Amino acid sequence: MNIEFLLLLLLLGSVVGIMAGLLGIGGGLIVVPALMFLLPMAGIEPSIAMQIALATSLASIIVTSGSSAYNHFKLGNVDMFVVKWLMPGVVIGGFLGANVAEWIPSQYLPKVFGVIVLCLAVQMLFSIRGKSQRQMPGSGATMSIGTGIGMISSLAGIGGGSLSVPFLNRHGIEMRKAVGSSSVCGCFIALSGMLGFIFHGYKAEALPAYSLGYVYLPALIGITSTSMLTTRIGARLASTMPTATLKKIFALFLMFVAGTMLL
């Protein structure tokens, strides 16, 4: 640990908080690539860097998405039907994703992450021009879809907003409520995924000091100490910004992250 590493974590947390409140993401799409760059500064072995980045990202999302969800709830941006039926599925899927990540060789995890995000970016770009909407599926189908969202999100170390926001908006949920509801569900995806990584991390070798399984506590504290303060800025922006603009920002953000991880 050094002052440069700490300052970069604080800056990362500030950006993550704003983006979480604005887009309904937990911040994993920023945190995972950033930690892959920063963790070697803390002397962490490359063989476990991706697992630590994923686990620490999920742990930070619990705080970041929780703060974002609270601010969106105060602004009336949460759809309780969505939360009620999507949440059980995303919790189950989140734990399953952490188990799948343990089976994938470490060198392939960044590529898996990049491909997932690239698919999300393409989907969102097409949805900007698409005007047709569908009705929300029934409770059972919503729960099943939530399981898939949770599994993919945990595998990529994200809170699920990149999947759930386009899904909800496509099925008639207004963009601001899709963002707010996604923030609530993101907390529980992250919690179940983090627990899976903690469980598997206890068996890992070469873990750094101050780790809880694969969760690296110094990075977690540095990121969340600022992210939980800046989510309110993003939530207020989301409540005033036009929906089309919000979608364009979301799509461009996904494209940038996908390109970073793949290249």
SS3 labels along 136-174: CCCHHHHHHHHHHHHHHHHHHCCCCHHHHHHHHHHCCCC
Question: What's the whole-number average pLDDT of the chain?
Answer: 81
- pTM, 2 dp: 0.74
The 10s digit of each residue's pLDDT in 76-135 is: 888 887 788 888 888 888 888 877 877 877 667 667 777 877 777 776 676 665 555 677
pLDDT computed for residue 183 by the predictor: 81
Give the number of other CB atoms < 10 A from CB of residue 61: 35
121 contacts 255 by C-beta, under 8 angstroms: yes
Is pLDDT above 70 for 26?
no
The 10s digit of each residue's pLDDT in 142-161 is: 889 889 888 887 777 776 77
Q: What is the DSSP letter of 211?
A: E
Q: Where are the domains of the chain?
A: 3-262
